[in-house]
Structure 1
Amino acid sequence: MPRAVRERQMMDAAVQTFGQRGYRAASMDEIAELAGVSKPLVYLYLNSKEELFTACIRREAGALVAAVRAGVEPGAPADRQLWDGLRAFFTHAAEHPDGWAVLHNQARTHGEPFAAEVARMRTEIVSFVTYLIGAAAREADCDSELAEREVGGLAHALVGAAESLAVWGNETPGVTAKETAATLMNFAWAGLENLMNGRRWAPPSSRG
Structure 2
Amino acid sequence: MGAVKTKRMPRAVREQQMLDAAVRTFGRRGYMAASMDEIAELAGVSKPLVYLYLNSKEDLFTACIRREAAALTEAVRAGVRRDVPADRQLWEGLVAFFTHTAQNPDGWAVLHLQARTHGEPFASEVAAMRAGIVAFVTQLILAAAREAHRDPDLPESEVAGLAEALVGAAESLADWANATPGVTAREAAATLMNFSWSGLGNLMAGRPWSPPAPAGAAAAEAPAAAAHEVSG
TM-score, scaled relative to structure 1: 0.97
Residue number in structure 1 paired with 2:106: 98
Kept after mapping to 2: 8 A contact 1:142/1:197: no
Kept after mapping to 2: 8 A contact 1:20/1:98: yes
Query: How many residues matched?
Result: 208
Of 172, 179, 197, the residue aligned with 2:187 is 179
Structure 2: which amino acid aligns with 1:129? V
Do residues 189 (structure 1) and 210 (structure 2) align?
no
Distance across 2 between alignment mates of 1:56 and 1:120: 14
CA shift digits 1:89-125 (9 cap, x unpaired): 0000000000000000000000000000000000100
Of 165, 169, 186, the residue aligned with 2:177 is 169
Structure 1: which amino acid aligns with 2:208? R
Kept after mapping to 2: 8 A contact 1:78/1:139: no
Kept after mapping to 1: 8 A contact 2:146/2:153: no
The 10-residue stretch of structure 1 (145-154 or 86-95) with the greater mean CA deviation from structure 2: 145-154
Kept after mapping to 2: 8 A contact 1:134/1:143: no
Shift in Å, 1:138: 2.4
Distance across 2 between alignment mates of 1:141 and 1:95: 38
Do residues 72 (structure 1) and 80 (structure 2) align?
yes
Q: Which runs of 5+ in 1 are unaligned?
A: none
Structure number, greater radius of gyration? 2
Distance across 1 between alignment mates of 2:208 and 2:59: 48
Distance across 2 between alignment mates of 1:128 and 1:139: 17
Distance across 1 between alignment mates of 2:115 and 2:94: 22
Percent of aligned positions with the same letter in both sequences? Answer: 76
Alignment of 1:5-154 (within 5 A): 5-143=13-151, 147-154=155-162
Residue number in structure 2 paired with 1:202: 210
Distance across 1 between alignment mates of 2:123 and 2:175: 18
Shift in Å, 1:142: 5.0
Give the superposed CA RMSD.
Answer: 1.2
